[in-house]
Copies of this chain bind each other. A is one copy, B any other.
Amino acid sequence: MTPGGPAPVPRAGAGGPVLAVVGATGAAGAVMLEILSQHADIWGEIRLVASARSAGRRLAVRGEECEVLALREEVFDGVDIALFDVPEEVAARWVPVAAAKGVVCVDNSGAFRRDPEVPLVVPEVNADAVRTRPRGIVASPNCATLSMVVALGALHEAFVLRELSLSSYQAASGLGRAGLSALREQLAAVVADPDLGTRSGDVRRAVGGAGPFPAPLALNVVPWAGTPEADGWSSEELTVREQTRRVLGLPELPVAVTCVRVPVLTAHSLAVHARFEREVTVARAHEVLAGAPGVVLVDSPADGEFPTPADAVGTDPAWVGRVRRSLDDASALEFFVCGDNLRKGAALNAVQIAELVAGERTAP
């Protein structure tokens, strides 16, 4: 089952706006090229950019081979919209360069997400925010926030959100290509020996270095993502908290988050405990979720139907299920949500934003 699975659409973009994809060779970038090839083709030109290491490589987009250019100021000449899928420090340096040339920049990194002059946009939830971008920059929320906030936005509209407690189950590719290859290597190392995973530290010794993770991920879960912040919090946890508040427009919302990495290649999951102002019922929540754009409801556990990352990977929507009303509070819901961190969590959301911006030119 691939709900919302994309169908290829004919090419019609000659004369349309010029799009640059910066970081086209990365984990998120590769998915972006796939999505651009599947969506309605509104682009006059798509220009692929990465580091000097990748210059001259040829990648397919919209059924054509396209040469990768090394990132420098000139690549933005004539560009209308640029999508940035590069490390935070690269975005911090280069997004303003492109913006200064009049390019509308959509950034997938953390570089601008806290800037009050940069809207943080999830089209299903706050599409209008894209129009006010004094710096010419729009940010896409981090991958752990994205699928969850799509579902939560719909529930908030129906029931009015009051408090959140979240635990994440985040995939290796949240750390890009390095995360993917490290998990694959670790799994290969542990699978050979059936005794591994039964003694303290044996997995640590077998996999050697943990790669980009702060502890081995194969046969393990790692309750840490990002860098240390004050009072024991991780940057990822504070990010999920802040961005959920910003996207929902609830700057005071109490949000408690624990971010945990799990041995899944791609697709993040979250267990959500949400308290609302209004009373909730599972039936009404199902109705709301089933009608919400960007959400697919998968909630019949007795038939083995619940969202899993292995089903959500490679698909567009937020998969939501395990919807239960709290047994102690008629205004609280539990649910579980899975979404592809490289698609909706990164590439898809940025492409949707670019399409919104491109649409402004033709809109009344």
A197 an interface residue at 8 Å Cβ cutoff?
A: yes
CB of B271 within 8 A of CB of A200, answer: no
CB of B260 within 8 A of CB of A219, answer: no
CB of A266 within 8 A of CB of B198, answer: yes
Residues of chain B within 8 A (CB-CB) of A221 are 169, 262, 264, 269, 308-309
A124 an interface residue at 8 Å Cβ cutoff?
A: no
- CB proximity to B under 8 Å, residues A294-320: 299, 301-302, 304, 306-315
A322 an interface residue at 8 Å Cβ cutoff?
A: yes
CB of A231 within 8 A of CB of B325, answer: yes
CB of A271 within 8 A of CB of B254, answer: no
Other-chain residue from B184, B219, B314 in contact with A199 (beta carbon distance below 8 A): B314
Other-chain residue from B200, B233, B302 in contact with A313 (beta carbon distance below 8 A): B200
Give min CB distance, A56 to chain B, whole Å: 25
Mark contacts of A228-243 with chain B using CB atoms, 8 A cut-off: 1 yes-contact digit, 0 otherwise.
1001111000000100
CB of A304 within 8 A of CB of B219, answer: no
Number of this chain's copies in the assembly equals 2
A329 with B254, Cβ < 8 A, contacts A232-B301, A309-B220, A310-B219 known: yes
CB of B260 within 8 A of CB of A301, answer: no
A165 to B327, CA, bound (A): 12
CB of B264 within 8 A of CB of A220, answer: yes
CB nearest to A326 among chain B residues = B256
Residues of chain B within 8 A (CB-CB) of A360 are none
Other-chain residue from B199, B220, B233, B323 in contact with A232 (beta carbon distance below 8 A): B323
Mark contacts of A264-304 with chain B using CB atoms, 8 A cut-off: 1 yes-contact digit, 0 otherwise.
11100101010000000010000000000000000101101
CB of B220 within 8 A of CB of A310, answer: yes
Can you add 10 more A-B contacts, CB < 8 Å, to A188-B191, A200-B314, A224-B322?
A: A2-B201, A169-B221, A197-B266, A197-B310, A198-B314, A201-B310, A216-B310, A231-B282, A232-B322, A255-B327
A175 an interface residue at 8 Å Cβ cutoff?
A: no
CB of B232 within 8 A of CB of A264, answer: no
A222 an interface residue at 8 Å Cβ cutoff?
A: yes
Other-chain residue from B219, B228, B260 in contact with A265 (beta carbon distance below 8 A): B219
CB of A258 within 8 A of CB of B219, answer: no
Residues of chain B within 8 A (CB-CB) of A262 are 169, 221, 262-263
Other-chain residue from B223, B228, B310 in contact with A271 (beta carbon distance below 8 A): B223
Mark contacts of A102-127 with chain B using CB atoms, 8 A cut-off: 1 yes-contact digit, 0 otherwise.
00000000000000000000000000
Residues of chain B within 8 A (CB-CB) of A269 are 221, 223, 260
CB of A198 within 8 A of CB of B265, answer: yes
A194 an interface residue at 8 Å Cβ cutoff?
A: yes
Residues of chain B within 8 A (CB-CB) of A265 are 196-198, 219
Residues of chain B within 8 A (CB-CB) of A302 are 228
CB of B232 within 8 A of CB of A200, answer: no
CB of B167 within 8 A of CB of A271, answer: yes
CB nearest to A206 among chain B residues = B310
A204 with B336, Cβ < 8 A, contacts A269-B223, A321-B223, A328-B255 known: no
Other-chain residue from B5, B167, B231, B311 in contact with A324 (beta carbon distance below 8 A): B231
Q: List 17 A-B contacts (CB under 8 A).
A: A167-B271, A184-B194, A197-B313, A198-B314, A201-B310, A204-B311, A214-B301, A214-B306, A215-B304, A223-B269, A223-B271, A223-B322, A228-B302, A231-B282, A255-B328, A256-B334, A262-B263
A1 an interface residue at 8 Å Cβ cutoff?
A: yes
